[in-house]
Amino acid sequence: MNAEERPESRELDEATPGHAATPVQAAPHDRRLQRRVVSVLVGGQILGGIGMGATLSLGSLLAAQLSGSNAWSGMAATMSTLGAALAAVPLARLAQARGRRVSLSTGALIAGAGAIVAITSTALAVFPLLLLGLMLLGAGSAVNLQARFAATDLSLPGSRGRDLSIVVWSTTIGAVLGPNLFGPGEVVGAALGLPPLTGAFAFSVAAQLATAVVYATGLRPDPLLTAMASRVPDLTAPRPQSGLRILRSNAKARYAVAAVALSHATMVALMSMTPVHLRDHGASLTVVGLTISLHIAGMYGLSPVFGWMADKAGRLRTILLGQAMLLSSLVLAGFASDSGPAVTASLILLGLGWSASVVAGSALVAESAQVQDRPAIQGVSDLSMNAAAATGGALAGPVLAAVGYSGLGLISIALVVTVIIWTALQPRSGATGLN
């Protein structure tokens, strides 16, 4: 059986222009090590998700309390997103130099420190200090994003999407458990003498410290360093490049990063305005909560299915499927926004489309550069995702005020059309293309 018939028999790193592709040796075929790496990452994602989920909603309440105005409540999510964006590239560089173990555990420790700063700011009633704490806490989101790429370091080409999607799926567990710690957090906080609303931050500190320990002790040997060491020596191979340089010279990387970022921007823009739209139309908080819960289930619940599909049917086919679901969601939002069930269906499709596009797009990002350059381009991708989230969320409000929820849905179609056209222009070959 030749290599074309059995693509998992070898992998060729995507070469940058002017350089030959470099074969990878057999280390990625150590299935036992890869299963262990994925298991450790899943454990870290669950703990990290608990640490983030326990604090995000309370952050907005604390921001309103310390600032004295509800107008500042949105700064909690803004600072957390900013922190994730600022941490993405430095953590990627740390992974490139020292491996995933050091990078992921360091990010978790920074997030834990952020939770401590948030508690301190509340005790001192210093609003700017709270914003700093929430920004540091955002490093936990950067860790969660990088962890999905860590799952691909030792993956076979035919299982990269599946491995990545399993780690993405595990985020659901922590995201669901975290908010349920609000009540117990208040009990623990009172016992520890902490200010009101900060007990859950104590859980976050513990969860982030546990995450750091899991990564520091469990990722041995380090998957990224193992992958780098397994490469066939190539004296002509270039030195590691920066993510922006790769983005300028590598068309495949540009497309993959853009597909993920634009899909994320589409999702955030519509999702963030849905609660406002539903409340304006008289929906109860229960209906709003159910709609968002179903949306989150769509985002993560079927991610392993989309990972399997990305491996079997191809990355581009799966991205196109995701864009089709995003388009359906936006059309529903555009033409049936007065119907509660239609809006709920739109949000479910929005989550499913996001999942298919981001899982397949992230798998494409992971294989779009040579192994020593992958952390750099992955860091740029994570930075782009967070920038897209911030931009989409910031622009969605004014657009909603100007043209309404229907107009927001229809305008967002432009982002989906951009990805569809760009996808159609991609080369069609192998597991990453249209077979």
* C-beta of residue 20 within 8 angstroms of C-beta of residue 236: yes
- Cα-based angle 337, 299, 329 (whole degrees, multiple of 5): 25
Buried b (16+ CB within 10 A) or exposed e, 277-294: bbeeeebeeebbeebbeb
Query: Mind listing the pLDDT tens digit of every residue in the chain (435 residues)?
Result: 444 333 333 343 333 333 333 333 434 457 889 999 999 999 999 999 888 877 766 787 788 889 887 667 768 878 888 899 999 999 999 999 999 999 999 999 999 999 999 999 999 999 999 999 999 999 999 999 999 999 999 988 888 999 999 999 998 887 777 767 778 888 888 898 888 888 889 999 999 999 999 999 999 999 999 988 876 455 445 555 666 778 887 889 999 999 999 999 999 989 888 888 888 888 886 788 788 888 888 998 899 999 999 999 999 999 999 999 999 999 999 999 899 899 999 999 999 999 999 999 999 998 888 888 888 888 899 999 989 888 888 888 888 889 999 999 999 999 999 999 999 998 865 544 543
What is the C-alpha to C-alpha distance for residues 249 and 18, in angstroms, rounded to an integer? 10
Cβ of 90: how many Cβ atoms within 10 Å?
Answer: 16
Q: Which residue type sits at 285? A: L
Task: Say what the pLDDT of residue 319 is.
Answer: 97
Is pTM, for the whole model, over 0.75? Answer: yes
DSSP letters spanning 22-75: -BB-SGGG-HHHHHHHHHHHHHHHHHHHHHHHTTHHHHHHHHHHHHT-GGGTTH
Q: Would the CATH topology of 27-233 be identical to that of 241-435?
A: yes
Element (DSSP H or E) covering residue 322: helix 315-335
Strand partners, 24: 231
- CATH code for the domain defined by 241-435: 1.20.1250.20
Domains of the chain, residue spans: 27-233, 241-435
Task: Say what the pLDDT of residue 428 is.
Answer: 67
What is the C-alpha to C-alpha distance for residues 56 and 197, in angstroms, rounded to an integer? 12
- CATH code for the domain defined by 27-233: 1.20.1250.20
Q: Whole-angstrom distance between the N-terminal and C-terminal Cα of the chain?
A: 19
